[in-house]
Amino acid sequence: MDLSFFLFLSSGLFLGWSLGASDASNIFGTAVGTKMVKFRTAAVISSFFIIIGAVYAGSGASQTLGHLGSINTLPGAFMSALAAALTIYWMVELSMPISTSQAIVGAIIGWNFFAGKPTDISILSQIVGTWIFCPVLSGVISVLLYLSVRNIVRKSHIHIIRQDCYTRIGLIIAGAFGAYALGANNIANVMGVFVEANPLREIRLGSGFHLSGTQVLFLIGGIAISVGVSTYSQKVMDTVGHGVMKMSPLMAWVVVVSQSVVLFLFASQGLQQFLLSHDLPALPLVPVSSSQAVIGAVMGIGIAKGGHELNWNLIGKIAVGWITTPIIAALICYVSLFFLQNVFGQVVYQ
């Protein structure tokens, strides 16, 4: 393995960094913004559990992306990740609710087109279906959770001070679960395109500790996400806490748990195997957007409160994003691969 690997991996690391900077706010944004949890606590918990989730549960969603397109050279993987990152940057500029998953899927399709490889339509439709299903499922979970929590709070007669204490503990536990689910589900976006061309070897420490080459790759990606959380997410968390979504800490807890459950459902191989072994319908393991899951959950609470707070403009933006994000990423990836191959003389596919 030479140093060029890390050069090519840099686009994935950048993607991971930006994911950490933006998506950690979905987990701890309101808690930090409303001063329920200190930023340092949030950053440490997020970083730790994102890495754990990425290393130990990240392979499921990553395999699905691999079935969509196996990018088999490092320069190809580099450009796919960079195209996704550029698309995200552009979508942020347009104030669209970004989805790293949609950008990376678009980039993989762009690579498939350039390399002349077929795109598995059944896998693609499964992934696209999941994108639409994700905010809807998150909304349904948040409605059920919101109504249950509201009932419990109203009937239990807990003192406001004690409720505050329980909410803080709940936010920290939900945040840890959310970070684990984010790492497990979204590491595929960051490192998925590098799996096929991964030259990293397994690590063994004694007889108990063992990481496969892919897990080492995911560990590096997880660290990149964690660096994003620690270095750049505070500003985003403050914005989420104060501006974009005005929520009480208890509502924030409902939103975090809803999106975490959704991300976990679309990432857990154990759960999928359990459901399949009991002849139950299992969800596909697909990287989904935590931002859109959050928006779905907030909308769910809006519906549960009477539907007065529904922001149809935002729903429209999400729907537009389902189509535009992958198309833009695919186009950028296709054009960039052309330059990388013909101007810089890199082998972008085999």
Partner 1 sequence: MFHLNVSIFSRTKSLENKIDLFHDKLLDGAMSFKKAVKIFLNEQRSEEYRKLSKQIKQIEHDADNLRRDIENRLYSQNLIPDLRANVLQLVENLDRVINKFDEVVYSFFIEQPEIPLEYHGRINELCDQVAECAENMAKASRAFFRDLSSVRDYSQKVYFIEHETDLSSGNLRRAIFESDMPLANKLQLSSFINQIADIADIAEDFIDELLIFTIKRDI
What x/- string results for residues 149 through 168 when contact with partner 1 is judged by CB under 8 A?
A: xx--xx--xxxxxx-xx---
Please report whether residue 173 would count as binding partner 1 according to CB under 8 A: no
According to DSSP, residue 267 is labeled T
Instruction: Closer to partner 1 by CB, 117 or 168: give it.
Output: 168
- As measured in angstroms, the least distance from the Cβ of 304 to partner 1 is 10
Instruction: Closer to partner 1 by CB, 229 or 250: give it.
Output: 250
Instruction: Closer to partner 1 by CB, 171 or 217: give it.
Output: 171
Q: Which stretch binds partner 1 (CB under 8 A): 119-127, 147-155, 215-223, 315-323?
A: 147-155
Cβ density class 101-125: b for 16+ within 10 Å, e for less: bbbbbbbbbbbbbbbebeeeeebbe
**Could you tell me the two tokens for 24?**
């950690």
Segment 19 to 58, residues that bind partner 1, using CB under 8 A: 34-36
- As measured in angstroms, the least distance from the Cβ of 248 to partner 1 is 6
Instruction: Closer to partner 1 by CB, 140 or 153: give it.
Output: 153
Instruction: Closer to partner 1 by CB, 150 or 317: give it.
Output: 150
- As measured in angstroms, the least distance from the Cβ of 164 to partner 1 is 5
Instruction: Closer to partner 1 by CB, 10 or 163: give it.
Output: 163
User: Per residue, what are the HEC states of the chain?
Assistant: CCCHHHHHHHHHHHHHHHHHHHHHHHHHHHHHHCCCCCHHHHHHHHHHHHHHHHHHHCHHHHHHHHHHCCCCCHHHHHHHHHHHHHHHHHHHHCCCCCCHHHHHHHHHHHHHHHHCCCCCHHHHHHHHHHHHHHHHHHHHHHHHHHHHHHHHHHHHCCCHHHHHHHHHHHHHHHHHHHHHHHHHHHHHHHHHHHCCCCCCCCEEECCCEEECHHHHHHHHHHHHHHHHHHHHHHHHHHHHHHHHCCCCHHHHHHHHHHHHHHHHHCCCHHHHHHHHHCCCCCCCCCCCCHHHHHHHHHHHHHHHCCCCCCCHHHHHHHHHHHHHHHHHHHHHHHHHHHHHHHCCCCCCCC
**Could you tell me the two tokens for 98?**
């970004």
- As measured in angstroms, the least distance from the Cβ of 254 to partner 1 is 8
- As measured in angstroms, the least distance from the Cβ of 23 to partner 1 is 24
- As measured in angstroms, the least distance from the Cβ of 252 to partner 1 is 10
- As measured in angstroms, the least distance from the Cβ of 137 to partner 1 is 22
What x/- string results for residues 224 through 253 when contact with partner 1 is judged by CB under 8 A?
A: ------------------------xxxx--
What x/- string results for residues 87 through 126 when contact with partner 1 is judged by CB under 8 A?
A: ----------------------------------------
Total number of residues that touch partner 1 (CB under 8 A): 20
Instruction: Closer to partner 1 by CB, 5 or 166: give it.
Output: 166
- As measured in angstroms, the least distance from the Cβ of 36 to partner 1 is 6
Alpha carbon distance 294, 308 (integer Å): 18
Instruction: Closer to partner 1 by CB, 255 or 265: give it.
Output: 255
Residues of this chain that interact with partner 1 (CB under 8 A) are: 34-36, 146, 149-150, 153-154, 157-162, 164-165, 248-251
